Structure 1
Amino acid sequence: MQDFRCRVCDARLFFENSVCVSCGSALGYSRQEQAIVPVDEAGRYVDAEGLIWHVCRNLNLSGCTWLARLEGGQCEGCDFTRVRPNDADLAGLANFVPAERAKRHLLAELDRLGVEVRSRAEDAASGLCFDLLSSTLQPVVTGHVDGVITIDLAESEAAHREGLREQLAEPYRTLLGHFRHEFGHYAQWTLVTDAETPRFRELFGDERADYQAAVDRHYVEGAPAGWQSTFISAYATMHPFEDFAETWAHLMHILDTVDSATAFGLTDAVARGTADVSSMRVLVVDVWVPLSTALNAVNRSMGKDDLYPFTIPAPVLDKLDFVASLLPARSR
């Protein structure tokens, strides 16, 4: 995340601020400018080209601070959500708010990485949409199928999420992590071309292997012995699709955290020449490893678990480098 500043009083802002706590200015997030901007009493913002933008109609429903093109309309970020809980499902709506926050974080990071994502409304064949479903009345399976990402909104609840993390012996489980992982499946579906498939199979394995059989085997037998030397997580060992999605999620973890650390002066990836993802190997080795080690120590000082409880062996570094090669910045 960037170190956002109020354009009225220069106070520090955070990504989800709808009001500046210092000067009281009403705010909105301009996706086009990738900046938080002041809006007037009517919730309007006029950009440099004279276009008028309006606060999203979902501000009070989901806490959305993004700006919409039409007065009374919803923003581009909200357009990606295809299904949400109904108004009578109060528990589902409560969980909908943090899920939408995580989704906006994902979309903003993709924008910063230059990854163009079209909504299902814009591209019916391969566009992206989110079904954010409440499991209050029926089970929901988080996953991705042909551009539709389904999220069980119960993952918004810390107790539920922590219970599953312990049950599945996972070192890390967050709502934003789910969004990044499931988008990884979408990225593999849309970005890995026939030309890249041989290298994909060399690194991750043959994706044509029976997926359901792999899932069944994983939950009966667990991860193979010694998996830590070639995979980022035990879950990644299940199937090449899951290995890629886990690697994509970790790429986003790393890039976003380094971006935030740089913005707040905790590291200077720009001065080191490692901020560009074209130097992914250098960024991981020279910046991410020492930074995450230090952040883990800080967390321990507060009696918390490690911020990044993972190690990155050489084969995983190769996978990260491949995934980073799919980003637009690598094509220059």
Structure 2
Amino acid sequence: MVRWAIAVHGGAGVDPALPVERQEEARRVLARCLSAGAAALRSGASALDVVEMVVRELETDPVFNAGRGSALTRNGTVEMESSIMDGLGRRCGAVSGVSTVKNPVSLARLVMERSPHSYLAFDGAEEFAREQGVEMVDNSYFITEENLRMLKLAKESNSIVFDYRVPLPGADTCNSSAGLVAAKADGGGLPMMNGLPISIYSPETVGCVAVDGTGRCAAATSTGGLMNKMNGRIGDSPLIGSGTYACQACAVSCTGEGEAIIRSTLARDVAALVEYKGLSLPEAVDQAVKERLDEGKAGLIAVSRNGEVAMGFNTVGMFRGCATEEGFMEVAIW
């Protein structure tokens, strides 16, 4: 018997020092979006409609790094990216480098349904958005005062700040400058990525996966990327098979170190383990996280066509939640 299920994430790599009020704020947002998605599935909505709706809500709320509240490029602008995939026929759509589209996930769906392509980026994606009449806003809509402060500190330290809301060990609060500066130019003993010092990893990408009462699976992922990233940088979130994947067997959305997720084609790997090796969804998620990421840090959420939910991560924590037709609902971080 087919049963609906839904899972949502808001980023992997949470630091234990994250203030309680920040944790509770994130929990409330995830719980609200999860409840809305579950209610829609309960009423017979399609998985595709539900994942778009949930991710739109997460893009609109500035708590996570997607849509409003997105991380800033080194030039102080926002370049967002998103993807969506329908397991029925493996249809997909993705966008990158959008800066005035209020909800990138909805533009990704329009790329899938109203264009001859699967992926549009930068000026081409913006032009398509205008042609389709989607809601557009000035780039300043996405920029928060907090993010401007984080970018300033990242520039001063010549670093990419992976989680500009999480303090480094020893920092008193998220607003402590000690916790917001990722590293000095010489690395300061912190790990390096592509020659640049980095801080604690937690990009706060958002995503949703769902299976509806007909057994149809869908996935969607959205992000603003990395604070102080190079202009034009594209992560895993819009890349089908890396950050997002859905087929008849399951749907997957990933979060974490984008470059590692891209190298491992993490989302597709989970699906392949289910489709070709016959692993259960929890087994596939566990194997992919343990064996495919090398030294990269990431997490993912997944649902199967039978209503299974599986979530895995090799970081300290991951903002996540799930709900099933049986009445189970949980929101967790650690």
Superposition TM-score, scaled by structure 1 size: 0.28
**Higher RCO structure, 1 or 2 (CA under 8 Å, sep 6+):** 2
Structure with larger Rg: 1
More strand per residue:
2
Q: Answer 1 or 2: which has greater helix percent.
A: 1
